[in-house]
Amino acid sequence: MLAALFLAACVAPPRPAPPAAPAAPQARLPVPSPQSQSLAWDAAPLTPGSWVYRADAAAPAALFGLPASPAIVAIRCVRAQRQILVQRATRAPPGTMGTVQIYSSSRAAPLRASVPFTGPVYMTAELAASDTLLDAIAFSRGKWGLMQPGEQDFILPRAAEVARVIEECRG
C-alpha cells in the first residue's frame, strides 16, 4: 500500500488549462456621416397622401396630404414678391426659428425657416422663385424629401402640381 502511495505521489499534477486565446477585438459599428444619413431618405417609402393644385390669383399653391385633412406640406407662390414658400406642418410653437432640409435626386439644402405667429402652424422657408432648388424638386427622379429636426420626415412624390406653382411664380 505504501508503494501505491509513492507511485501516486510521482504522478505529475494535472496541468492547468491553457490560457484562453485573447478575445478578438470587437468590430466597431460605423458611425454614419452626415452625408450617409442624408441619403437614407432615398430608400424610405413615400409619405401617404396626394398633391392637389389650388388656383389663387395672388398665391397659387400645391398642397399635399390625405383627402379631407389639412395639408401637411404646401408649396405656395407669393406672386407680388416672386417668392415660393415651402411649408410643412409642425408641432413647433409660433415664433420658432429652425431649419428644414430638402433633398432631391440632384441637390440637398438646409433652409432657414420659421413658424409664423398667424395662420396655420407650418415651418416656412422662403425661396426666390428663380432658385434652382425648386427645379431640383420639380424634376426630381420620382421623389424628394422634406425634413425638420424632431419631426416626421416627409418623403414626397414628384408632382405636376408643384411644377405648375413654380412656373406660375416665375411668370
Domain encompassing residue 114: 43-170
Residue 38 lies in a domain: no
The CATH number covering residue 113 comes to 2.60.40
Which element (helix H / strand E) includes 136? helix 132-138
* 138 in a structural domain: yes
Grid coordinates given for 156: 414626397
Is 74 within the bounds of a domain? yes
More confident residue, 96 or 14: 96
Q: Per the domain annotation, does 13 fall within a domain?
A: no
* Residue 131 burial (C-beta neighbours within 10 Å; 0-12, 13-18, 19+): middle
pLDDT of residue 31: 25
Give pLDDT, residue 21. 46
Domain annotation covers residue 143:
yes
Structure confidence at residue 36 as a pLDDT band (50, 70, 90): very low
Helix count and strand count (H, E) for the chain = 4, 9
Residue 2, in any domain of the structure = no
Determine the pLDDT at residue 93: 84
Average pLDDT on 152-157 reads: 93
Pick the more confident residue, 135 or 13: 135
Answer whether residue 83 shows pLDDT above 60. yes
CA distances from 163 to 51, 61, 67, 128 (A): 11, 10, 21, 15
- The total number of structural domains that make up the chain: 1
Average pLDDT over residues 77-83: 95
Q: How confident is residue 60, by pLDDT bands cut at 50, 70 and 90?
A: very high
Q: What are phi and psi of 97, to 5 degrees?
A: -105, 145
User: Is residue 30 in some structural domain?
Assistant: no
For range 108-112, the mean pLDDT: 80
Measure the CA–CA gap between 144 and 136, rounded to whole angstroms: 9
pLDDT higher for 134 or 5?
Answer: 134
pLDDT at 33 over 60: no
Name the DSSP letter for residue 11: S
The candidate with the shortest Cα–Cα distance to 115, out of 85, 158, 82, is: 85
Residues near 153 by Cβ (< 8 Å), separated by ≥ 6?
A: 41, 44, 47, 145, 146, 147
Reported confidence tier of residue 13, pLDDT bands at 50, 70, 90: low
Q: Which cell goes with 58?
A: 395672388
The mean pLDDT value for 154-165 works out to 95
Higher pLDDT, 33 or 70: 70
Is residue 9 assigned to a domain? no
Does residue 69 carry a pLDDT above 50? yes
